[in-house]
Structure 1
């Protein structure tokens, strides 16, 4: 007897399978047939529920990006001590991006091809208020003499660059160093500690 699934069951299995495949094989390395096989569905199901691989990926990206933005903004908006806040901010990227390694490249692609759509996703979380608050915290720490007096924008760009670039570079790094995905995850865990120390040393007087 053929097993029948509800609409939600089929679509959820497709999403779960696609999410796992995009993480392990990347967008280009994953085909519609791969997703169909891994989900126990068929190509027609995927096209019916999601139209295309790109639409399916965008749904998964939106889900991951929403999680990332919420965690980052919740941390930046908190009242935790300043250096604890900075460490938590860095930790978010190194904890979440291994689960959703396609986010950095997707964001870069969106910046180049559809920046308005990306800005719409971010603007829902009132980024101006969050960054103004963090800037105030930054200036207050500088006024107390606990950190160097530097432009906040430079500091923010440094943190983002140090945290995000290792994930953008991942594909090339794996080939150059002949490492497995698991090896690279372990390398990044050690690198995270270096980034935290590096950022702190750049802040402290």
Structure 2
């Protein structure tokens, strides 16, 4: 149907331009026609290579998710000192979500339309290995007295929700606060520091937390 010599190049061009548009405008704000125009192709060619906009978005998401989960799991299973690991872990979430905002959009879409499919996507990347490692690290730190008693599942859910929520509901937040994207991005960058400080303070043993409060006073 198309020149075989240029087909791989055309396919990569479509992928590259589609990723740029999805990041800029989101899934709903990007049309196949937009992708075709940006990539110098046409709607028929985009559909030929990728069948549909959703399928194209899914391919881009899978690639981003591979990078995302590898970076997160590598951080969780690293041998960094525990509190440094927590800080790096949170920073990695923010860094990746700024770089791949389509992940947040896709997760929100899959939670609503295909939660079982999203679960399988995550499960095939073996998250249990990372969970077991961080659970063991938490137990070790509790025994040493460096952090308070902390259920690993609750801890993981807290970090995930605090890091993901600002990106998943970014558009709604900007609308409610009546602020532009660049202002919201600055707010989120500062919010990262708050999440790190909040999380580390929540981990400290009660005596240490009281000492920190007394020092601030």
Normalising by structure 2, we get a TM-score of 0.88
1:150 equivalent in structure 2: 150
2:176 equivalent in structure 1: 176
Q: Considering only CA atoms, is the larger Rg found in Structure 1 or Structure 2?
A: 2
For residue 125 of structure 1, give the secondary structure of its aligned residue in structure 2.
Answer: coil
1:101 equivalent in structure 2: 101
Offset at 1:93?
1.3
Q: Which runs of 4+ in 1 moved over 6 A?
A: none
Aligned-partner Cα distance in 2 for 1:27–1:121:
19
Residue by residue over 1:60-115, the C-alpha shift from the partner in whole angstroms, topping out at 9 and shown as x without a partner, is 11111111101011111111110111111101111111222231232243244434
Residue by residue over 1:12-59, the C-alpha shift from the partner in whole angstroms, topping out at 9 and shown as x without a partner, is 111111111111111111111111111111111101000110000000
2:51 equivalent in structure 1: 51
1:67 equivalent in structure 2: 67
Mean CA deviation greater in 181-190 or 28-37: 181-190
Aligned-partner Cα distance in 2 for 1:5–1:194:
52
For residue 99 of structure 2, give the secondary structure of its aligned residue in structure 1.
Answer: coil
Q: Do residues 82 (structure 1) and 73 (structure 2) align?
A: no
For residue 98 of structure 1, give the secondary structure of its aligned residue in structure 2.
Answer: helix
Equivalent residue pairs, number: 203
Structure 2 unmatched runs, 5+: 206-217
Offset at 1:192?
0.3
Aligned-partner Cα distance in 2 for 1:104–1:81:
29
Change in CA separation of 1:170 and 1:195 when aligned onto 2, cut-off 3 Å: same
